[in-house]
Chain A
Amino acid sequence: MEYEVVIGLEVHAELATKTKIFCGCSTQFGGEPNTHCCPVCTGMPGALPVLNEKVVEYAIKAGLAMNCDIEQNSKQDRKNYFYPDLPKAYQISQYDLPLCKNGHLEIDVDGQKKNIGITRIHIEEDAGKLNHDEFGGGALVDLNRACVPLIEIVSEPDMRSSAEAKAYVEKIKAILEYLEVSDCKMQEGSLRADVNLSIRPKGETKFGTRTETKNLNSFKAITRAIEFEIKRQIEAVENGEEIIQETRRWDDDRGIGYAMRGKEDAHDYRYFPDPDLALIKLSAEYINNIRENLPELPDSRKQKYINELGLPEYDANIITGSKMLADFFDEATKYCDNAKSISNWIMGDLLRILTEKELEQVPFKPEYLAKLVVMIDSGKISSAIAKKVFEDMFETGENPEDIVTKKGLVQISDEGAIKEIVLKVLENNPQSIIDFKAGKDKALGFLVGQAMKESRGKANPQMLNKMFLEELNK
């Protein structure tokens, strides 16, 4: 039977505020355990939380950028559950009056555009971190992350594949980066997703029973966990088993998902308004002011790249998908008009090396990539040499002009010098001459290759080609 997959996501993003949501402790990542803590964020009795005004502002920015209605009247509620990373035994979140509602985002999967509904965006506090004690069998609790502000972005069940889910999270990441409301560092857990997934026979309109796989913190994990869960549910249904509504975890190292708690523990959070916190009332003027000051968002930048710089949509999509790349591209194109070539370098070698080296920032100035492209376009260096210079730039961060001068990599375009190389290569490879005359065109490529080797990549390949043909046809 053919099945349709139904996916809804809950995306959690840590907000880039300096301080926690309800106290003045720093949100900086990586401090010594329990050094960014006070009575409020460790849940001491009698401590009084006071809401950080930036949290409200950032959440509204996100809401407006994701086409939500902003609720002028909002409140905060307690969500009660027991877990040792939650010192108060409740999380302050928002239940029935979230800050933002009824939004949507447009995603693009292989040129297919689709709107994904956003049910709501609310503010809440993060939990602490449990470090499992290898020796004692217990656990050690670090509350530095406790009370760090989060927004939770809840989607409608509008996605139908792992590719759509990935595109949706990528879109959210790009928007939050452009707004500068979250640094979205997935490896530090500042952007993570819970996946709600069910399957149903194709054509069926009722939803199947869904499972929720929690805390996926990379695009790869999101994709793999979804594929795993689709396969598991289809197999279960085909074997006549019933899908159980449950919370699941994903083990990325082993590549498997497993049930976390059973149905008998089904959550009952007993939400109620937090009596320690005041209501939030926002004036239309306050909301409008934020709306008018929103920075440029990925979609508008993408249109600019397509319409004004003539980039293909595919390129524009990838580059605007990351604020870091788009900023790098913008800066580089100030120094060089060949936008397409800059884009090719970014999408090819630059992204490849960033991934290989696991870097988040390019270690050289955007201006240097522009200079490299200018050197290629003017024939000063060959593209083969440029690739080597580019690798060098990643190592040293240096200006490509300096690298080329220092290493003597300027392209040989002098006719006399080229001719000398051509004649030498022909002399050493008489068999290739015979092959070429017998109609084997491949021999020419071989000869050019030899000449490039002879010149250590510096000879101008177009000139080599031309001159070999001249000599061979004599």
Chain B
Amino acid sequence: MNITKEELKHIANLSNLYFSDEELEKYTKDMSSVVEFANELSKIDTQGVEITTSILGEYNIFRKDEVKESFDRDILLQNAPEQGDGMFKIPKVIG
């Protein structure tokens, strides 16, 4: 199966990625081969097999509604490239 340039642009857009024409050309080809590889799976006969909704095979794993101590804010903010007033600082958001 081949991926079109338009499809790749759409996927890139959803991931906030922007490609030059050259990159677009290259990645469209790469992506097509990835999808082709994944399509090998569709050769398997799945007739009569139920759709997988969970790979755990487990159900009803719940916790009680009991408050636990939250984390120290300084630890949580440790990896933030920038911070201010105890919050994660991020570039201007449009939208």
Interface positions of A (Cβ within 8 A of B): 17-19, 23-26, 32-39, 42, 50-54, 56, 75, 80-84, 97, 130-133, 136-143, 260-261, 264-265, 268, 270, 273, 275, 277-281
Contact = CB atoms under 8 A, between A and B. Distances in A.
Contacts of A23: 68
Contact of A51 (B52, B62, B76, B84): B62
A53 B88 contact: no
A17 B65 CA distance: 7
Nearest to B73: A34
A56 B59 CA distance: 13
B87 A24 contact: no
B48 interface: no
Contact of B56 (A80, A278, A280, A281): A278
A280 B61 CA distance: 8
A34 B68 contact: no
Given A33-B86, A52-B64, 5 more contacts: A75-B53, A136-B84, A140-B84, A260-B95, A278-B58
A19 B87 contact: no
A268 B14 contact: yes
Considering residues B53, B60, B87, B92, which has the most beta carbons from chain A within 10 angstroms of its beta carbon?
B87
A140 B63 contact: no
Given A19-B67, A53-B64, A261 B95 contact: yes
Contacts of A82: 14-16
Nearest to B60: A281
B70 A54 contact: no
Contact of A50 (B62, B70, B86, B92): B62
Contact of B76 (A37, A52, A53): A37
Contacts of B85: 33, 140
B95 A34 contact: no
A270 B14 CA distance: 10
A133 B92 CA distance: 9
Interface string B40-71: 00000000000011111011111111111111
A229 to B, nearest CB: 20
B53 A279 contact: yes
B59 A19 contact: no
B38 interface: no
B16 to A, nearest CB: 6
B10 interface: yes
Nearest to B10: A268
Which range contains the number of B residues in contact with the other chain? 35 or more
Contacts of A50: 61-63
B77 A34 contact: yes
B60 A280 contact: yes
A32 B85 CA distance: 10
B70 A51 contact: no
A275 B63 CA distance: 17
B5 to A, nearest CB: 15
10 contacts: A24-B68, A38-B70, A53-B64, A81-B14, A82-B15, A82-B16, A141-B87, A141-B89, A268-B14, A280-B60
Contacts of B93: 83-84, 130, 132, 139
B65 A279 contact: no
Nearest to B63: A50
A50 B65 CA distance: 11
B71 A39 contact: yes
B13 interface: yes
Contact of B63 (A24, A32, A75, A137): A24
Contacts of A25: 67-68, 70
Considering residues A24, A25, A75, A82, which has the most beta carbons from chain B within 10 angstroms of its beta carbon?
A24
B1 interface: no
B23 to A, nearest CB: 20
Contacts of B71: 37-39
Contact of B59 (A37, A261, A275, A280): A280
Contacts of A97: 53
A142 B56 CA distance: 33
Contacts of B82: 138
Given A24-B67, A52-B63, A75 B73 contact: no
B62 A138 contact: no
B14 A75 contact: no
Contacts of A83: 93, 95
A139 B67 contact: no
Given A37-B73, A139-B92, A279-B54, A18 B66 contact: yes
